[in-house]
Structure 1
Amino acid sequence: MGKIIFLDVDGTLVDYENRLPESAVDAIRKARAAGHRVYICTGRSKAEVYQNLWDIGLDGMIGGNGSYVEEHDQVVMHQLITKEQCRKVVDWLQGRGLEFYLESNEGLFASERFEERGDVTIKEYTKQKGKPDAEHMTIRKAFPEMIFGGELYRDDVNKISFILDNYGDYLDAKDAFPDLHAGTWGGRGEETLFGDLGVKDIHKGNAIEQLLNYLHADLADTIAFGDAKVDIPMLEYCAYGVAMGNGGPEIKKMADYITDDVEEDGLYHAFRYLGLIE
């Protein structure tokens, strides 16, 4: 067996406007042809892994920041928020006036005013990533298959993301739901834009361990690629870690290698540097 490669999606495989560089597609296809395995390892649930990503050719995925593991359509592990936990979170967010969406393998289910409130936030998120045309970003562009008006009390939810009016919303959510893992994304500290709540005691490193056990594979053969703080556990767990040039300072500090930005063929250059492709 060759190397086992784990790729974060947003900011690593695709840019922050969901554009997939042709060089990344070429790198993955060449690596797989050379006998390496390639998995995406993402915060996205399966419903948000669109067909253009599967069309690259992948061996499987880790989703929900580690709550779901799939190997060639075979579900290796899936941990879910319970329906009762989901109901409590939905009621709490609605009572606080916070807009949110549920992340399920069956779809992304938005709260009543998520699109209206979220358009402002997604523009700011895109702007923070340095994109000059951020004012044209919308929720429907960012989440093209999001479901509006769907059932919100569900038993198939991996995690729940919600728009922060202020950092206190995240801190209060963390206190309100000690049985869940509370995180943030879309910025650092007081500048972060989103909070999320998911299954407790899971992360990308744990999920990789589950997959390696299933494959009877060697940790020494693993390489992880990421750009954000949430990717640090998988870079710490894997034998070798690569940070994208557009990544944050925390992940760059601990990575074994820093490649170019996602938009500057960073994935392709790293694959060549590591000898995964010629």
Structure 2
Amino acid sequence: MDVDGTLVNYETVLPESAVVAVRKARENGHKVYICTGRSESEVYDDVRSIGFDGMIGGNGTYVKDNDEVIFHKVLSKEDTRHIVDWLGERKLEFYLECNSGLFASEKFEDAGTKAIKEYSKILGQDSDKTTIRSVFPNMVFGGNLYRDDVNKISFVLNSYQDYLDSVKEFPNLNPGTWGGEGDKALFGDIGVNDIDKGKSVELLLNHIGADIADTFAFGDAKVDIPMLKKCAVGVAVASGCDEIKAVADYVTDAVDEDGIYNAFKHFGLI
């Protein structure tokens, strides 16, 4: 299952019913993995303490079964330098997403605050409570930005053209957007090519010897669509985007309306 917008809302509030659902499902013999855009360093104690069988992170670039890392692909140091310099030249604020931490550009907090509040508003959350430091409590400011351990890089879009230009500038990588649909997106991101959540689900299933016929995927956003398509049953939360609801096999209630618990119950997982 995805984390942001699926397991937790975009104020990072985790419904107690979701905790109960995950723990009960595991007690019943099911394996539960998070499949998230977050890197290892962003899986904070509230989520980690629920108890999972492993994780897929960085939108598929990192796969772990329990404590065993079975796949990890990062941006090359040369690509990272190219991206950082290109974003700097365009005055686009950004942060590096690494398993060792999140490393922000000099003015990301100022530029990112408006965008993250807008995203909260889109999702029907109380944007007055949303800040960069509430969403990213362990973000590092003033750290080294030329790194060799970067899963992906997110940046604030000044306009949709910034994303279109990133596609031209980085044809060997995987530019995308998040925080809104199409030209209303608030953030861009750049990661390694030929990796998505669906492909990494397949890697994980092959490793543990599981049958795709026995799988459920839970998500809320466009980036989750490959995962929903890969698994036998794809579930979207009602608070998710229209694109994912259109491809889902089942739409459960919103995150804050016990959507995960109700879906687990509906499918007899608990």
Equivalent residue, structure 1, for 2:167: 174
Aligned counterpart in structure 2 of residue 117 of structure 1, from 111, 124, 148: 111
SS in 1 for 2:3: coil
The alignment yields a C-alpha RMSD, in angstroms, of 0.7
Whole-Å separation in 2 of the counterparts to 1:157 and 1:164: 20
Note the 1:1-278 alignment, pairs <5 A: 7-131=1-125, 133-277=126-270
Q: Distance in 2 between matches of 1:137 and 1:51?
A: 19
Q: TM-score, normalised by structure 2?
A: 0.99
The CA deviation string for residues 100-125 of structure 1, in whole angstroms up to 9 with x for no partner, is 00000000000000011111111111
Give the deviation of 1:135 after TM superposition.
2.3
Structure-2 separation of matches of 1:259 and 1:140: 30
Alignment gaps of 5+ in structure 2: none
Deviation at 1:136, TM superposition (A): 2.9
Shift of 1:52: 1.3
Q: Secondary structure of the equivalent of 1:150?
A: coil
Deviation at 1:193, TM superposition (A): 0.2
Give 1:138 shift. Answer: 0.9
Give structure 1 stretches of 5+ with no counterpart. Answer: 1-6
One-letter code of the match for 1:84? E
Which SS does the other structure have where 1:243 is aligned?
Answer: strand
Letter of the 1:226 counterpart = G
| C-alpha contact 2:119 2:186 (8 A) present in aligned 1 | yes
What is the percentage of aligned positions where both structures have the same residue?
A: 63
Q: What letter matches 2:211 in structure 1?
A: D
> What is the CA–CA distance in structure 1 between the aligned matches of 2:46 and 2:127, rounded to whole Å?
23
The Cα shift of 1:158 comes to 0.3
Answer whether contact 2:21 2:260 (CA < 8 A) is retained.
yes
Distance 1:246 1:174 in 2: 29
Q: List structure 1 runs of 4+ shifted beyond 2 angstroms.
A: none
Q: Distance in 2 between matches of 1:217 and 1:28?
A: 19
**What is the CA–CA distance in structure 2 between the aligned matches of 1:217 and 1:30, rounded to whole Å?**
20
Task: Answer whether contact 2:152 2:191 (CA < 8 A) is retained.
Answer: yes
- Contact preservation (8 Å) 2:11, 2:129: no
Say how many residue pairs are matched: 270
